[in-house]
Chain A
């Protein structure tokens, strides 16, 4: 079993390197990204200053050398210094990691609780009102623009009904995170509802469920003893995949709700042409996503005995 795990972990390394390379390529190598970033929108820079900056950032070194330096720095946790605030990027991002994590996890918790439940209920009573309503809701959830949905939620619950605060992190309490988490989680919730329903229906028609029924089990026990675990495998797959799109959408939701996370930092940095910060944010987000995927892989090995003994 450890071998399988080790192999999974080993697979991640090349991808991480590739991502670092890509980010480097996009932002540091493309024609004059650094310098053009600085001389945007009419801000002219004194040639002497530019020259000094070039030397400072080692822009005159050949690309492979710069790449090696970049990798070395990144791997040791040095993501450079922000153009805007002159503080280390790691520090800039560090402060924002927790709020982003909170938001993403809260959204996922919402998505799983509501989505999987709906999917199960729909599958256990196919063709019923519950089923139709859930599935209509699900496909609507998939079609929603998450930030628009957030905006509507904000209008209804924060501005009109005044039940919840309309933006910001506040004291980190529950009331501030509800609206952004729901807005962010509605997409994954919809997908989870649909896939859980399909998976459970498949399982309910499986041979081993027929065997379970032939043993004289009540439907409740059939679900509890035989259906749940098998459905879990598929749910975990979806959850893992959805984290990626969640983090993409989180960028927008963070901006909308003025949530002090890595996503909103990234957007701000893009506008301010703060290249090191942008690079750092992207790396952080991608690494997190890869970490989640690895955890999902590990979860599989734990849940599905067929994989353990490969």
Chain B
């Protein structure tokens, strides 16, 4: 563990209680995020990345629960912290933004007030002070006419604006870590880049680390220093961003990289069809034995069918979980 580590997740296991048994929705998940670092977590829907984030925040709800592992924030273990302690952490030291800005804001409360709540909660501000700071926060996220906007209701703002409000809320108390769960997925393509740039800029200015969760490998690789790929509840690969694109090690990552449509090269070569990864993500109740990717993997062999591969450390901080990596 480096001295500059902010968040260390070690062997995280999340249990799902269903059909009178317990499944492991997520297991053996370990990663580390340094102070001020941008870290990406990539995977398809259902791979467990969102609930990993919720676990860090202590927001898992029945039937999900923390089954094991350690979560260490700035040297302190928080996986079994008291509810009061977690409440203190949330918002103040860890901020979170979610995917759907429309439903993530209270429709009956002006957005200014929803930002101001952060200051009242964590910085003992009075409501009028807090509203002033809320206006300032709106200015920071580049919402035009902030003085007017603080009185607006969420339905009066566009999707991009609402997400800026969410960013303002999450970064209001200058937390050490910002968790962003698919923040741009529900937005127009033209707005996505703006939001990502805004996030990157503000976090760099405040020294906030980012845990960026997305299914979009390209987006994550652009923004983050290191990337981890999740599949069916496990981390299958982790590498620095530049290298994961150039030299993906796990067949799944390779499939993801290959399936990105790219201008130029391919169309010149006359390849018209997009490459896809055959098959579907398995459901939690039906994880295949051995390596969970084996039904869809072109390199699968006998050993893949009955032995789950262990983590193979590679050069530097990289790692991969595959019998036939490379």
What CA separation (Å) do A309 and B118 show in the bound complex? 27
Is there a chain B Cβ closer than 8 Å to A214's Cβ? yes
Residues of A within 8 Å of B48, CB to CB, are none
What CA separation (Å) do A217 and B89 show in the bound complex? 10
Question: Which interface residue of B96, B98, B106 has the most chain A CB atoms within 10 A?
Answer: B106
| A208 with B103, Cβ < 8 A, contacts A215-B90, A217-B87 known | yes
Is there a chain A Cβ closer than 8 Å to B10's Cβ? no
What CA separation (Å) do A249 and B89 show in the bound complex? 54
Residues of A within 8 Å of B118, CB to CB, are 215
Residues of B within 8 Å of A35, CB to CB, are none
Is there a chain A Cβ closer than 8 Å to B164's Cβ? no
What CA separation (Å) do A111 and B209 show in the bound complex? 52
Would you list which residues of chain B between 113 and 156 have a CB under 8 Å from chain A? Answer: 117-118, 121-122, 153, 155-156
**Contact for A215 among B108, B121, B153, B155, CB less than 8 A:** B121
What CA separation (Å) do A206 and B89 show in the bound complex? 22
- Per-residue B-contact encoding for A195-238, CB less than 8 Å = 1, 0 else: 00000000000111011111111100100011001100100000
**Inter-chain contact B106/A212, CB cutoff 8 Å:** yes
Question: Which interface residue of A230, A303, A305 has the most chain B CB atoms within 10 A?
Answer: A305
**Inter-chain contact B108/A210, CB cutoff 8 Å:** no
**Inter-chain contact A230/B106, CB cutoff 8 Å:** yes
Would you list which residues of chain A between 161 and 215 have a CB under 8 Å from chain B? Answer: 206-208, 210-215
**Inter-chain contact A214/B96, CB cutoff 8 Å:** yes
Would you list which residues of chain B between 250 and 270 have a CB under 8 Å from chain A? Answer: none
What CA separation (Å) do A230 and B166 show in the bound complex? 20
Cβ of A271 to closest chain B Cβ, rounded Å: 50
Would you list which residues of chain B between 89 and 109 have a CB under 8 Å from chain A? Answer: 89-92, 95-96, 98, 100, 103-109
Residues of B within 8 Å of A233, CB to CB, are 108
**Inter-chain contact A208/B91, CB cutoff 8 Å:** no
| A207 with B100, Cβ < 8 A, contacts A304-B108, A306-B155 known | yes
What CA separation (Å) do A309 and B98 show in the bound complex? 27
Residues of B within 8 Å of A212, CB to CB, are 106, 117
**Inter-chain contact A214/B117, CB cutoff 8 Å:** no
Number of B residues near A (Cβ < 8 Å) is 28
Would you list which residues of chain B between 74 and 91 have a CB under 8 Å from chain A? Answer: 87-91
- Per-residue B-contact encoding for A270-310, CB less than 8 Å = 1, 0 else: 00000000000000000000000000000000011110010
**Inter-chain contact B121/A207, CB cutoff 8 Å:** no
**Inter-chain contact B104/A211, CB cutoff 8 Å:** yes
Cβ of A224 to closest chain B Cβ, rounded Å: 11
Nearest B residue (CB) for A208 = B106
**Inter-chain contact A206/B103, CB cutoff 8 Å:** yes
Number of A residues near B (Cβ < 8 Å) is 23
Residues of A within 8 Å of B281, CB to CB, are none
**Inter-chain contact A214/B89, CB cutoff 8 Å:** no
**Contact for B90 among A208, A216, A305, CB less than 8 A:** A216
What CA separation (Å) do A213 and B95 show in the bound complex? 11
**Inter-chain contact B104/A215, CB cutoff 8 Å:** no
**Inter-chain contact B153/A306, CB cutoff 8 Å:** yes
Cβ of A289 to closest chain B Cβ, rounded Å: 28
Residues of B within 8 Å of A305, CB to CB, are 107-108, 153, 155
What CA separation (Å) do A221 and B106 show in the bound complex? 14
Is there a chain A Cβ closer than 8 Å to B9's Cβ? no
What CA separation (Å) do A229 and B106 show in the bound complex? 10
**Inter-chain contact A208/B121, CB cutoff 8 Å:** no
Residues of B within 8 Å of A215, CB to CB, are 90-91, 117-118, 121, 169
What CA separation (Å) do A230 and B122 show in the bound complex? 24
**Inter-chain contact A230/B87, CB cutoff 8 Å:** no
**Inter-chain contact B153/A208, CB cutoff 8 Å:** no
What CA separation (Å) do A233 and B109 show in the bound complex? 13
**Inter-chain contact A306/B107, CB cutoff 8 Å:** yes
Residues of B within 8 Å of A303, CB to CB, are 108
Cβ of A53 to closest chain B Cβ, rounded Å: 59
Nearest A residue (CB) for B95 = A214
**Inter-chain contact A216/B105, CB cutoff 8 Å:** no
**Inter-chain contact B107/A214, CB cutoff 8 Å:** no
Residues of A within 8 Å of B57, CB to CB, are 214
- Per-residue B-contact encoding for A250-280, CB less than 8 Å = 1, 0 else: 0000000000000000000000000000000
Question: Which interface residue of A225, A229, A309 has the most chain B CB atoms within 10 A?
Answer: A225
**Inter-chain contact A226/B98, CB cutoff 8 Å:** no
Cβ of A133 to closest chain B Cβ, rounded Å: 22
**Would you list the 9 A-B pairs with minimal beta carbon distance, nearest first?**
A216-B91, A216-B90, A207-B103, A215-B91, A214-B96, A208-B106, A305-B153, A211-B104, A216-B87
Residues of chain A whose beta carbon lies under 8 Å from any beta carbon of chain B = 206-208, 210-218, 221, 225-226, 229-230, 233, 303-306, 309
Known: A211-B105, A215-B121, A216-B122. 17 other contacts (CB 8 A): A206-B103, A207-B100, A208-B105, A208-B106, A211-B104, A212-B117, A214-B90, A214-B96, A215-B90, A215-B117, A216-B88, A216-B121, A225-B109, A226-B106, A303-B108, A305-B107, A306-B155
Pick 14 A–B contacts, CB within 8 A, sort by A: A207-B104, A208-B104, A208-B105, A210-B98, A211-B166, A212-B117, A214-B95, A214-B98, A215-B118, A216-B91, A216-B121, A218-B87, A225-B109, A305-B155
